A and B are shown apart, each in its own frame.
Chain A
Amino acid sequence: MTGKILMRDGDSVLTYPELLERVNAAQSYYPALQTGSLVEFVSNLVVALARGGDVVLLDSDLSADEVAGLGISGRNEARKIEGAPFADIGAVLEAVKKSPSKISIFTSGTTGLPKKVEHTVASLAAHVRVSENYSGHVWGFCYSPTHMAGMQVLFQILFNRNAAVNLFRKSKQAVYESIDKYGITHISATPTFYRLVLPEKAAHPSVRRITLGGEKSDKALYGALLEVFPSAKINNIYASTEGGTLLASGGEYFKIPDGEEGRIIVDENNELLVHKSLLGESDSFILDGDFYRTGDLVEWIGEGKREFRFLGRKSSLVNVGGYKVNLEEVEDALRSMPEVADALAFGQKNSVLGNILCADIKLKEGAQADVARIRNFLADKLQPFKIPRKIRFVVSMESTATGKIKRL
């Protein structure tokens, strides 16, 4: 079937007419789909939302233990749906926009357990802009579709009937080949994604807009990007699983928008706090009064306390290539190994990922385990990005006065 393309992922392609056909033909969908195929993921999502079915977004690399730990039953089990056929793709997209479906996303919580946050299309797409001016955009899709940023980009693409090419986890060469071959105009990705496609000798002028989000970025990166994408404007966003896109800026500094001064605040320890009215629905938010603690540390720029920049995360979360890793979750998994007496996980600065995950491990007396054994054990329990890539065996660990291991 031919028709306007929605998504390309390697050899697999989904067009808008095919999507309409799939929605109209569907008698069931998967409320908790775990798939490595972006095309399957998108079709299932649109079917669910157009028909008002709830969905849980699961990363394709979650282990069986992790899925069970999240309290999810019915993984990859179909549920029946029904509804009158849609006349055209426009009607499908209108139904998606107004969808009552609950969309559950998981994020690593500060308590050591991933927490579920419930969103709707309305809350996820609050910052999506739809207009004639946005038609004809070709997106490089560079996020996991099961995370907040990926969902936002996906709705931006769908509602403007744009095309997208999957670039997530593709090689540098494949990324530039796709940009040139398909004339990609818009890219939204983490700083790690951009760092991995630099340096690049050739310029790629088809790209008109570069958006960075999910991690701290810096001026040097903007400069390098402007050389490779000379026609592009650079945009930096701050979003969280809890609140969606909250702030946007043209550079390293963010400004609290007019009218939101009292709803986005910074406490005396420089942590950014967001008012509950800006958040999605979740039972697992731990609010401090009316505010949610983001765990992000910021620094004011200038006297007026209106502009700031991000410094990084509070110590229990480390951003590894755009993924937030809860160190306590990693340590809990390590301590569940029969050979391990104690473990300390930490981030170390790294030129590829921003931070690399490391662990110091103290083995039980007489126990033996090597790096391969530890990695294999963790592979059954944790997503790959949560597995320490630098492991040291130590004979003792320093404790703080409260008996906790000292986090440096």
Chain B
Amino acid sequence: MEKLESIIRLIQDNKGAPSRAPIAAETRFREDLGFDSFDLAEFTVHVEDAFGVDVFEGGVVETVGEVKKKLKI
């Protein structure tokens, strides 16, 4: 989870919207984190680099919990 959180923080920092608001399994990428499709794409690249899994393959994931499930972490 720490690794996943650090990727989310990195994307928030990169888009000039740093935040340290808590991230939970039910946190939604679009509504809660304000990620657009470009942010989501960037997120998938970093997650794939770190875990070797393309979490968006087979459709969009909406929450942090869904990503954890796909990564089995």
Contact = CB atoms under 8 A, between A and B. Distances in A.
Nearest to A348: B45
Interface in B32-73: 36-38, 40-42, 44-45, 54, 56-60, 62
Interface residues of A, number: 28
Contacts of B58: 199
B5 interface: no
A350 B31 contact: no
B29 to A, nearest CB: 9
A390 B45 contact: yes
Contacts of A394: none
B14 interface: yes
Q: Chain A at the B interface: mostly helix, strand, loop or mixed?
A: mixed
Contacts of A321: 37-38, 41
A351 B54 contact: yes
A169 to B, nearest CB: 7
A171 B14 CA distance: 21
A171 B29 CA distance: 10
B38 A384 contact: yes
Contact of B42 (A172, A197, A224, A356): A356
A369 interface: no
Interface of B: 13-14, 16, 30-31, 36-38, 40-42, 44-45, 54, 56-60, 62
Interface of A: 169, 171-173, 192, 195-199, 224, 320-321, 348, 350-353, 356, 371-372, 375-376, 379, 384-385, 389-390
Given A196-B37, A350-B44, A356-B45, 15 more contacts: A172-B60, A173-B30, A196-B60, A197-B60, A199-B58, A351-B44, A351-B54, A352-B40, A356-B41, A356-B42, A385-B38, A389-B38, A389-B41, A389-B42, A389-B45
10 contacts: A169-B36, A172-B30, A192-B37, A198-B60, A224-B59, A352-B37, A356-B45, A371-B14, A375-B16, A389-B41
